[in-house]
Structure 1
């Protein structure tokens, strides 16, 4: 899915229900909570970052926007602060990070969080693996192409969606929006071609087995092992 007249932030906020509470993890300059409040998508927002400098810049941006009463900025590692205080969150946004980093944040999951809106800039199979461990469900997945950069968007829910069950679910995804997307299909074909070229050069048995498994799954094109929960 190519983003043409829409930013990734606009796309992400489309999935947010009005009058809800949102936390942006790794908020950087605070653009997500600012836009969420300005667009009246949420009633209150948090911006969280581990590092002081971006959080300080976010604070300046929030003050400039006149939204200091609506946005709390917190210096914390991932979800640590929210989990320790058992803060109820309708949506947790994690964007602009690699899948491994996002997976580590989701490992801190707690029952007070209803949904995650994730935008990863690397293949999200580590995220799906963590969702499987945490019994979280994938409501929707999209493969986004923005100015030739590739991103994976996952709307994760505690109460509705599909479980990650099989290896195919783990490595290729579970949602029809993703699996039927032409850009994603092209990405899978290119990745398969790359793995075929690398396969004769690989001596590590586990890596070789993964390449063979991936090639087999893509070429079979069979979707199995996914179950939907409502």
Structure 2
């Protein structure tokens, strides 16, 4: 099965032999790929929307995997029962929505051995949520796929380490599997911020001064992380 590099990398982060719950499964490609390759014994493909779930169900039937992959209409984790999954995968959505799903679904996470997450925004906030709710990040990665960067990580139950602001924003460098991709992402972001700084007036109202300070802080943070990558 040909799936995107992003989905393929997410599938690789799922521990072999795990029972998977794929939240927001869309077309069901990740559980299909893993079950077809016999890397996992079973999966629950979940989505809040009937249309994508019907398409996933059709793909599963075409692959002859109906006995291994169950489709389930669900708002987040609401329809996942305690003990049904070892791995929960949530990807391709904003961080705020991801944190709501995790918060509302905490009872269903009892017994889950790992979370594989790929938030599209508020990534630092998702890392903070994990640390304050009994999850410890053990693996970080970032992927460039069709011109877009996709940070993703794996977390397991346990007490989180202390994080700096830079680590909340961009992850702990010693856990990063693709430091060269992260460095490229940071350089581009640094250049954007330098262009913003150059375009802001030297003097101006309080709002402009606040914006200048914000951009300067971002530049310092990006420079700090890039230096850390260079020292790996």
TM-score class, shorter: 0.7 to 0.9
1:54-65 equivalences in 2 (<5 Å): 54-65=52-63
- Cα shift readout 1:31-88 (whole Å, capped 9, x = no counterpart): 1111110011111101000111111111111111111111111111111122xx2134
Gap change, CA 1:47 and 1:6, over 3 Å in 2: closer
Deviates more, 1:191-200 or 1:151-160: 191-200
* TM-score for the superposition, normalised by structure 2: 0.79
* Cα distance in structure 2, aligned partners of 1:204 and 1:104: 34
Change over 3 Å in CA distance of 1:179–1:44 after alignment to 2: closer
Alignment of 1:179-190 (within 5 A): 180-181=179-180, 182-190=183-191
Residue 18 (structure 2) aligned to one of 12, 17, 20:
20
Alignment correspondent of 2:92: 96
Q: Which has the higher contact order (CA 8 A, sep 6+)?
A: 1
- The correspondence of residues 59-208 of structure 1 with structure 2, limited to 5 A, is 59-82=57-80, 85-107=81-103, 108-109=105-106, 110-122=109-121, 124-159=123-158, 163=161, 165-176=163-174, 177=176, 180-181=179-180, 182-193=183-194, 196-197=197-198, 203=207
Q: How far 1:192 sits from its partner (Å)?
A: 3.5
Listed as ranges, the matches of 1:189-228 within 5 Å are 189-193=190-194, 196-197=197-198, 203=207, 210-221=214-225
Distance 1:58-1:92 versus aligned 2 partners, 3 A rule: same
After superposition, give the CA deviation of every residue in 1:136-191 in whole Å (9 maximum; x if it has no partner). 1111111211121121111122248x535332222232133268333233244235
Greater strand share, 1 or 2? 1
For 2:200 and 2:137, the matched residues in 1 are separated by: 31
The separation in 2 between residues aligned to 1:187 and 1:158, in whole angstroms, is 34
Does the CA contact (< 8 Å) of 1:19 and 1:41 recur in 2? yes
> CA-atom RMSD, angstroms?
2.9
Structure 2 gaps, min length 5? none
Task: Verify the 8 A CA contact 1:128 1:164 in the aligned structure 2.
Answer: no
Name the one with the larger helix percent. Answer: 2
Per the alignment, in what secondary structure is the counterpart of residue 81 of structure 1?
A: coil
Count of matched residue positions in the alignment of Structure 1 and Structure 2: 216
| Contact in 1 for aligned 2:19/2:42 (Cα 8 Å) | yes
Contact 1:122 1:151 in 2 (8 A): no
Partner of 1:102, secondary structure, is: helix
Long gaps (5+) in structure 1: 224-230
CA drift at 1:118: 1.7
